[in-house]
Amino acid sequence: MYLSDIDKRMYYGERGLAHQFSMQILVRLGEIYGAKRMVPIKSAHVGCVYPQFGAAIEIMKKIDDMKGKFCVYTSANPILNPINFNKWNELNEPLKLQKLAKKQIAYVLKMGVVPVWTCTPYFEGNLPNYGEIISWEESSAVIFANSVLGARTNRTTMGVDIASSIVGRAPEYGLLLHKNRKANISIKLNFEPKKLFEYGTLGYTIGKLCGGKVPVIENLPESTNVNHLKVLGASMATKGGISIFHAVGITPEARTKEEAFQNNKPEFEHIITQKDIKDSIIELNTAKSKKIDAIVIGCPHAGIDEIKELAILLNGKKINKDLYFCIFSSERTIELAKKMELIKIIKKSGAKIFPGSCLVSQSTKLWGWKSVATNSAKYALTLPLKPNELDVYYTDLEECIDLAVN
Ligand code: F3S
């Protein structure tokens, strides 16, 4: 791989051990993927959601020992947030996990992270421009950045994201190259998604049909907004390992169908009908009954309009005492919602709102949870897996609330 003078100085240790270690990781990665050179990045988004993963903590510790600092704007994913420890005494985390999470947080803070602790960093100041090269972790944020913003990132892993941010560079391969961003599958809709839940189900359906490919959706409704695109991409990425999609007339690299396909022909076409969506809802339901321990909302993190909708739907209602109603969002969105007096309404109903966290890193088994309801297709895909192993009742927000108050 070609290395510029600056790259070489970092690689051979002239800029210190942290740069050298990070460049060695990135050069090795570039060689594996056939990158021809290193390119500068504008921002990074690092993963912190799993303190259970020892390897990530080891890399953080090593880079911290070498006094490494992030050199580009670097935000971070949700964490096992100490703000949440002890919030509900009965839902506490094991001490060992708390310690690991605190260590992880301390490392990235020392390196200079912007502590937004969210999987929607684009709503919290990490907003790359069209065409900018970035190095992001978190599949839902990666697909949003590539597809909706037109920024360029591969789906990096914990450790690689940190190395990239230390040196401000990434090996140029995959979705950093224009040719790899071209659509190859055509998706037409024979139904009109309206609710977030329907967009999430659509993303799952596309992920199922187009795993690893680049789909272009030809007729999303004009009413499609950024939150719809957020959940659409999140479930597409989780189900199909997809890191970029195009939507004609909506996403920036698909002003026309021809532009999205870079003047090539689609490998195949799919028409998605209401029946496909119904089938997907059945597949995403793993719960045997509607008897649930909790309702979990906010995957990806709930935006301000979702919190507003929740406040409207929960206004004047009381959550049943024998279940938990959990909403996950970012600290800054929650602050905003407080100013709008939405949190007051939500709390009065008995629902809880958690800043900067995510259920997938929590000890739900220890709490005795067996089954949850959610309107998030991504949660419906991830929560049945380890470490949570929960049964999931997947439905729209209105039914989630009905289940919680009846
Ligand atoms: Fe975010 Fe956790 Fe969902 S990181 S996308 S809330 S699984």
Delineate the domains of the chain, giving CATH numbers in brackets. Answer: 5-177 (3.30.499), 182-282 (no CATH), 285-405 (3.30.499.10)
Helices (H), 149-195: 160-167
Instruction: Map residue 132 onto helix, strand or coil.
Output: coil
- Give yes or no for a contact between 162 and 111, defined as CB atoms under 8 angstroms apart: yes
CA 37 to each of CA 26, 151, 256, 325: distance values in angstroms, whole numbers, following the listed order: 11, 19, 31, 49
What is residue 27's DSSP assignment?
H
Cβ neighbors of 127 (< 8 A, separation 6 or more) are: 149
The radius of gyration computed from the CA coordinates of the chain, to the nearest angstrom, equals 21
| First-to-final CA distance of the chain | 62
> What phi and psi, each to the nearest 5 degrees, are found at residue 354?
-115, 120
Tokens 């967009």, located at residue? 199
What pairs with residue 216 in β-bridges?
A: 186, 246
Q: Tell whether the torsion through CA atoms of 15, 18, 21 and 26 is positive or negative.
A: negative
Q: Which atom of ligand 1 is nearest to the CA of 359?
A: 2
Q: Which atom of ligand 1 is nearest to the CA of 139?
A: 5
- CB of 77 shorter than 6 A to ligand 1: yes
Smallest CA separation from ligand 1 atom 1, residue: 300
Q: Which atom of ligand 1 is nearest to the CA of 301?
A: 6
Tokens representing residue 195 in the block: 């609710």
Strand pairing report for 294-302 and 371-374? parallel
- CB of 158 shorter than 6 A to ligand 1: no
CA 364 to each of CA 294, 346, 367, 386, 387: distance values in angstroms, whole numbers, following the listed order: 10, 23, 5, 10, 8
- CB of 45 shorter than 6 A to ligand 1: no
- CB of 140 shorter than 6 A to ligand 1: yes
Quote the CA–CA distance of 301 and 45 in Å, as a whole number: 15
- Give yes or no for a contact between 384 and 390, defined as CB atoms under 8 angstroms apart: yes
Dist. CA 257 → ligand 1 center (Å): 31
* DSSP-derived secondary structure for 59-99: HHHHHHHTT----SEEEE-----TTTTTTSGGGPPPHHHHH
Smallest CA separation from ligand 1 atom 6, residue: 299
- CB of 245 shorter than 6 A to ligand 1: no
Dist. CA 173 → ligand 1 center (Å): 26
Tokens 């206004």, located at residue? 315
Strand pairing report for 73-76 and 371-374? unpaired
- Give yes or no for a contact between 25 and 33, defined as CB atoms under 8 angstroms apart: no
Quote the CA–CA distance of 234 and 87 in Å, as a whole number: 28
Quote the CA–CA distance of 212 and 239 in Å, as a whole number: 10
Ligand 1 pocket check: which of 77, 143, 238, 360 to mutate, most ligand atoms within 8 Å of Cβ? Answer: 360
The pLDDT of residue 103 is 86
402 dihedral zone (left: phi>0; alpha: psi -120 to 50; beta): alpha
Quote the CA–CA distance of 382 and 52 in Å, as a whole number: 16
- CB of 345 shorter than 6 A to ligand 1: no
- CB of 234 shorter than 6 A to ligand 1: yes
Quote the CA–CA distance of 285 and 171 in Å, as a whole number: 40
The pLDDT of residue 228 is 98
Q: What is the largest CA-CA distance in the chain?
A: 67
- CB of 78 shorter than 6 A to ligand 1: yes
Q: With a cut of 70, list the residues of the chain below it in pLDDT.
A: 49-53, 81-93
**300 prior amide bond cis, ω within 30:** yes
Tokens representing residue 143 in the block: 């697909």
Dist. CA 361 → ligand 1 center (Å): 9
- CB of 328 shorter than 6 A to ligand 1: yes
- Give yes or no for a contact between 208 and 187, defined as CB atoms under 8 angstroms apart: no
The pLDDT of residue 90 is 46
- CB of 299 shorter than 6 A to ligand 1: yes
Smallest CA separation from ligand 1 atom 4, residue: 119
Tokens 């190259």, located at residue? 177
Quote the CA–CA distance of 160 and 158 in Å, as a whole number: 6
- CB of 360 shorter than 6 A to ligand 1: yes
Please tell me the pTM assigned to this model: 0.96
